[in-house]
Structure 1
Amino acid sequence: MPTASPRHSASVAGITVREDGRILVIRRADNGTWEPPGGVLELDEAPQAGVAREVFEEIGITVDVRQLTGVYKNMRQGVVALAFRCEPVAGTERTSNETTAVEWLTPDEVRERMSEVFAMRVLDALDGNGPQVRSHDGRRLIPAG
């Protein structure tokens, strides 16, 4: 009997940018890290719909999902994350059972507060150079090659 192949999990993240250039981020309730809002994509869900759902569930903001800005693979866990640049449309920021804080940060504050792998998702969305494809080990980027 053949051995089953490992499976990947697909997740999405919404990099929501205001007109003043500040980026909406959350502090996760489970581990205290600062990240863009997001989560696991449902089986019957389109990626853009998943981003909008996750951002709304986690922080109460309705977003317009604009464009794919990056594809990121955690090589240790087999998680592939799709990051999308979004614009806020409606709602008021609030915490949820998944978040302990919600803030609008500058790019410099993103670099200071977020781990390299999550900061890179935000910075890639801001640079406008098209979708980036990157691999990481959960903490640090793995050089392409």
Structure 2
Amino acid sequence: MLLYMSTGSQQHKSTPLHSVSVAGAVVREDGRLLAIRRADNGTWELPGGVLELAESPEEGVAREVLEETGIRVEVDELTGVYKNTARGIVALVFRCKPSGGTERTSAESLAVDWLTPEEITERMSEVYAVRLLDALDGDGPHVRSHDGKHLSPAR
């Protein structure tokens, strides 16, 4: 999707616009990670969504995780930046610690579960699984691109 910027009464082609999203890699003390099964497409992913204009990335992560899962979090650190080259979405992923709340589904989630790294690899596509696995390795922040299905080769 190519977006155009409008200046005055003229519309001209310019640099494509990007959407910024945030997601939480929520790690429990036992090493399990919080995941949702999305209501719109049934896939397993980490909780997150579009960053709103008036909020910081950390505020956005905490809001999205709470909205989608019922879990409150303390946002720790940025663990990765992931660009979907097909859709122009840049996702910022933050490692988080659960700080309260109770797991529940929402209009955006069919299921909420705490998964092991092995279960993440089995249930999630590689472009989402890598975001959680990167958050565990402590070597971040990672910067990766993908086409929506497959990671692009590292440069």
Tell me which interval the TM-score lies in, with the shorter structure as reference length. over 0.9
State the one-letter code of the partner of 1:26.
I
Query: Structure 2 CA distance, aligned partners of 1:15 and 1:56?
Result: 13
Give the match for residue 112 of structure 1: 122
In 1: Cα distance, 2:153 partner to 2:14 partner: 29
Query: Is the partner of 1:6 in helix, strand or coil?
Result: coil
Equivalence for 1:76: 86
Match of 1:133 among 139, 143, 150: 143
Cα offset for 1:45? 1.1
Structure 2 counterparts to residues 1-145 of structure 1, below 5 A: 2-145=12-155
After superposition, what is the alpha-carbon deviation per residue over 1:87-129, rounded to whole angstroms, capped at 9, x for unaligned? 0000000000000000000000000000000000000000000
Deviations 1:38-64 (A, max 9, x none): 000001110000000000001111100
> Distance in 2 between the 1:20 and 1:66 partners?
17
The Cα of 1:21 is off from its aligned counterpart by: 0.1
- Per the normalisation by structure 1, the TM-score is 0.98
Amino acid at match of 2:127: V
Aligned mates of 2:119, 2:51 — CA distance in 1: 28
